[in-house]
Amino acid sequence: MEPGLGVGLGVGLGRAGAAPGLKAAFSSAHIPTEQLELAASYVSDAQYNRNIHFETSSQAIRLHKIYNHWAAQRVIYLFVLVDLLLALFEEPAVYLLPIWVSVLVCLLTFVGRLAHFSKIIPTKVFWRDAKNICLIITIMLTLIDMTVYWAVVITGHDTVRWSRVLRPLFCVNFTESRQLRRAFRNIRHTLPEILSVFVLFMFSVAVFSLMALKLFEKRNLTTDKGAPYFTNYLDIFFELYVLVTTANSPDVMMPAYNVSWGYSIFFIVYIIINTYTFMSVFLAVVYNNYKKHLKNEVRKLVFMKHRKMVEAFNLLKVQHGSEFIILEADWSQLVRIVAPEIPSAHRALLWRVCDEDQKGYVGQEAFIQLADLLNIQVVQMKERIHPLEVRMPSIYTSAVSQFIRRMVKHRGFRYMYDFIIVVNTIFICGDEANPYISEAEWVFLTLYLIEIMLKLYTYEPRVYFAKNQFWNWYDTIIVLAALLGTVINTALKSANGYSNQQILDIVFILRILRTVRIIDSFYRFRILLNTLLNLLPTMLTYAMLTIVYYTFAIIGMEAFKGRIRFYGSNSSDPAANYCGNPALKGTQFAADGYCKNNFNNIIHSFILLVELTVVNQWHNILFDIKYKKKICIDDTKLETRLKFKIASIRYKTVDTLLQHMFEAELKPKDQLPTLEEIEEFSPDDMVPQRPTFYSVA
């Protein structure tokens, strides 16, 4: 880059004249394509917040581009998903299929992806990254497990496919969802800091258990079921621990309360201290630490982005007077490489934003904005002409047609359809067996179809089906699906003489969902719903955390499969009363009819884990597991029980309330804070002013 060239350019050049002048002086030809490609890689990484320390050789840059191509990523996502879904078809299976060979295919893809990645970055960096090490070890362990399993099964024995537990690691370490990893990292960082609160909490439960033991031990009280009440320390500890989650309230108190109301004070004080105070402290500590860590993460991210943009700038800069600049031609070529899908009109617009003063070049600061500018979606607001107007203008602009279009745009049209929805709801509430009501369904379907067609006639289809038109999409999909379902159902009915219940169920639900659209007519509800829809992506990221359910489900299946059996709802088999396991005779679990809450396949396991997350009755579900274990493998009992407890506590506290609430505070697009926002972070955010327990604990 010849720095001398720029010096001669006068400052006196007029604004309008400056741009062509500069263009003439520096042809962009002097920047080699290789350098441009490298700069484009930096900008692209900055745009998508990727932190890949790739090598600068031209081959590595090419591989880097392929590596980040959406198709390559999709293939990996697909195989990760296939690997996870294999649990449906493996023993204990929902549908047993001999497809374990497909694990090999998945592993091969993963190895290929890793090899590809190793070509991009320096070998040293590759081996220092915990993600890669973790993946290689996981792949190797899976291979070993498969070999051992195959060998053991061949010899006719039974063994445990323990490597399946590791499958979620592929999801966490392979996918490009940095947010998921960040969420995990955040939780990992927060955990040690709540440890001291947790220990104090357990100490408190232990002290209260001791008090309960001393108070009730000698009283010979019995529970409702006639069992001795509060006589064993560990049982008391467990009962009081369950009380923290309020799952056994008020039953645990009743025997003591029946003796004297004074004892209820003990339980009330316990609940106030352990359920309300400690849980609040947990929440406060988690919230504060989580916020702190997230802020640090974001700050780091912005710093990395900034550095990458500076690198790109340094590759393309030329000297102009005392400052370094990038010329419009170079800039334009760069953007064309980074984002070939951007039309030239949009590119010109971006340039005008960068080069505010129309000087024909940009400085470093304006250039750095580019990473954020590329992420802005430009919505074309220009009036599109309706295709019908293009095809047959005479009909479309006729008086009748114009009247129809004005009518559809009138708000009376909306009110009319709101009224139709209300009437439809009344019909839905009626009895389906009534022929008038089932016939009316056709009328409503027709009315809705007419509405959609009228709207498509009035509005330009691409505008009607724009990305942000949630309710138009909703309407169309629901109505078309209902139409399809109703037609299929009628066809089946006339063919076989009876309806298919599954299809009927779906049609019923679609009909009811159709009426939900009425929300859109109320301004406040519309705003609320739009906010919720905007929050959806961030909420989904945290919903991805349910990937740990998979691990728990696999562990549960390996440990408990087949121990509880469900005999159908109307089974006359006497074993149905105790779920086929004599150890469950007379337990609350069997009495409540929880036989289907088992680990017999991955779907049942997931539903069971969701039930545990919802917390109520979790102690009964666990008790059962305890009893089951007692007769089988006794040493892992406590550990497993603990795992479930931790899972249920964590989900109850962290996930549901806090994170969503916290996310609600962030902007919908929290990935991209601007430089101004970063500057708003005071140094105090890093080092708390006062050494409160939030910073110490």
Nearest distance in Å: CB 175, a second copy:
22
Q: Which tokens is 675 given?
A: 């430089």
For residue 580, give the H/E element and its range. none
Task: Find the binding residues for a second copy in span 481-520 (CB under 8 A).
Answer: 505, 508-509, 511-513, 515-516, 519
Calpha distance 258→256 (Å, rounded): 5
Binding segment toward a second copy, per CB under 8 A, in 27-35, 312-320, 372-380, 604-612: 604-612
Nearest distance in Å: CB 257, a second copy:
6
- What angle (nearest 5°) sits at the alpha carbon of residue 498, between those of residues 496 and 502? 110
Calpha distance 50→674 (Å, rounded): 17
String marking each residue 142-181 x if it binds a second copy according to CB under 8 A: ----------------------------------------
Q: Under the criterion CB under 8 A, does residue 664 sit at the interface with a second copy?
A: yes
| Nearer Cβ to a second copy (324/552) | 552
Q: Under the criterion CB under 8 A, does residue 234 sit at the interface with a second copy?
A: no
Task: Find the binding residues for a second copy in span 413-452 (CB under 8 A).
Answer: 425, 428-429, 432
Q: By the 8 A CB rule, do 33 and 54 touch?
A: no
| Total number of residues that touch a second copy (CB under 8 A) | 89
| Nearer Cβ to a second copy (583/595) | 595
Q: By the 8 A CB rule, do 242 and 616 touch?
A: no
Task: Find the binding residues for a second copy in span 198-217 (CB under 8 A).
Answer: 199-200, 203, 207, 210-211, 214-215
Binding segment toward a second copy, per CB under 8 A, in 59-67, 346-354, 490-498, 529-537: 529-537
String marking each residue 271-310 x if it binds a second copy according to CB under 8 A: x---xxx-xxx-xx--x-----------------------
Determine the 3-state secondary structure of 43 from DSSP.
helix
Nearest distance in Å: CB 283, a second copy:
6
Nearest distance in Å: CB 594, a second copy:
7
Nearest distance in Å: CB 429, a second copy:
7
Q: Under the criterion CB under 8 A, does residue 250 sit at the interface with a second copy?
A: yes
Residues 6+ apart with CB under 8 A from 141: 163, 166
String marking each residue 47-66 x if it binds a second copy according to CB under 8 A: --------------------
Binding segment toward a second copy, per CB under 8 A, in 55-63, 77-85, 107-115, 589-597: 589-597
Give, as one character, the DSSP assignment of residue 318: E
**Angle, in degrees to the nearest 10, between helices 411-429 and 399-409:** 60
Q: Under the criterion CB under 8 A, does residue 218 sit at the interface with a second copy?
A: yes
| Nearer Cβ to a second copy (404/428) | 428
Nearest distance in Å: CB 221, a second copy:
8
**Out of 596, 637, 641, 650, the residue judged to bind a second copy by CB under 8 A:** 596
**Angle, in degrees to the nearest 10, between helices 178-216 and 523-543:** 90
Calpha distance 276→261 (Å, rounded): 22
Helices assigned H by DSSP within 245-327: 254-259, 262-270, 278-316
Q: Under the criterion CB under 8 A, does residue 568 sit at the interface with a second copy?
A: yes
Q: Under the criterion CB under 8 A, does residue 597 sit at the interface with a second copy?
A: yes
Task: Find the binding residues for a second copy in span 536-555 (CB under 8 A).
Answer: 539
Nearest to 142 by CA among 117, 176, 111, 98: 111
Q: Is the peptide bond before 92 cis (omega within 30 degrees of 0)?
A: yes
For residue 357, give the H/E element and its range. none
Q: By the 8 A CB rule, do 180 and 188 touch?
A: no
| Nearer Cβ to a second copy (246/380) | 246
**Out of 44, 179, 486, 617, the residue judged to bind a second copy by CB under 8 A:** 617
Nearest distance in Å: CB 471, a second copy:
15
Give, as one character, the DSSP assignment of residue 100: T
Calpha distance 207→196 (Å, rounded): 16
Phi, psi of 550 (to 5 degrees): -60, -50
The residue written with tokens 């066809």 in the block is 491
Calpha distance 654→287 (Å, rounded): 8
Determine the 3-state secondary structure of 597 from DSSP.
coil
Q: Under the criterion CB under 8 A, does residue 404 sit at the interface with a second copy?
A: no
| Nearer Cβ to a second copy (233/457) | 233
Calpha distance 594→631 (Å, rounded): 19
Task: Find the binding residues for a second copy in span 98-117 (CB under 8 A).
Answer: none
One-letter amino acid at 226 equals G
Binding segment toward a second copy, per CB under 8 A, in 299-307, 358-366, 550-558, 614-622: 614-622
